Structure 1
């Protein structure tokens, strides 16, 4: 739920900044870029520290090799994508790349839900709500990539 809150709050705050005079954020498209970047900074940083990193490593499907390396790599890609979203010249490409990355990582969500992994001391979110959230995130990336 934290990534959704970051997406919504980041977008709303950026849109508010645009409405009150920041010309770089004047419009929904730039605000969505900031919101999605905020979300990916939050999720990207989770790949590198503490219990959340251990949870992400546990989510990697058992058939994939080197789960810690995969988590590190996806974290780096998420952070790089967040930066790319904030640069108008690279925002569309970054959004497309992040959308593809989310699709590539979705099997880890399926694996975690099917194995009922406890994440952060709480039961894993069921597959249905995880899928809906993923659709929202991928749709946001698509809106940025194909938007005005």
Structure 2
């Protein structure tokens, strides 16, 4: 949940900075990008510095669990950097969404098996609640990378004919 608190806190701080005129933070995706990048960077570094916290989450059938933990940390760091670079932003956002889908089974196993991760609350409800936030972080990555609009559905825009028609006129063949 600390990850999600970081996302929200940093995005709100970026909104506050945009209100006082800091450039580059005009839109919500522009505010969401540094939030996700900072949260991922911290999580990725934690994977590399404290791999023992994550090893219990790796299922027994997965080979080389320490390498998997390191690889996930590197993926998070690479995604953070990629999200901040305009040339790689869209690809990074899509790959981060895929990454969040791929790590979801580890989070499910964590909740089902009642694993307690060092540094996180020990209550079972915490791990079940984290699962509910997984779709949010997938959406956040895609929105921050400007892959999708504010909601999963495309934004409705008036057709060019409707925009060009003067007010008060009806469609051809209609009555006034």
TM-score by length of 2: 0.76
Deviation, structure 1 residue 136? 1.2
Q: How many Å separate the matches in 2 of 1:83 and 1:100?
A: 16
State the number of aligned residues. Answer: 146
Larger CA deviation: 55-64 vs 117-126: 117-126
Please tell me whether the aligned partners of residues 111 and 128 of structure 2 are also in contact (alpha carbons under 8 angstroms): no
Unmatched runs of 5 consecutive residues or more in structure 1: none
Structure 1 runs of 4+ with >3 Å offset? 124-128
Alpha-carbon distance in structure 1 between the residues aligned to 2:38 and 2:9: 9
After superposing the two structures, state which structure 1 stretch, 63-72 or 115-124, moved more.
115-124
- Asked whether 1:7 is paired with 2:11, we answer no
DSSP 3-state at the match of 2:48: coil
Kept in 2: contact 1:112–1:124 (CA 8 A):
no
For residues 42 and 66 of structure 1, the distance between their equivalents in structure 2, rounded to whole angstroms, comes to 23
Q: Which stretch of the first structure deviates more once superposed, 124-133 or 101-110?
A: 124-133
Q: Which runs of 5+ in 2 are unaligned?
A: 150-176
Partner Cα distance (1:125, 1:90) in 2: 38
The alpha-carbon deviation at position 36 of structure 1 amounts to: 0.9
The answer for the alignment partner of 2:81 in structure 1 is 83
Q: TM-score when scaled to structure 1?
A: 0.89
Please identify which structure carries the higher helix content: 1
Match of 1:139 in 2: 139
1:47 aligned residue: 47
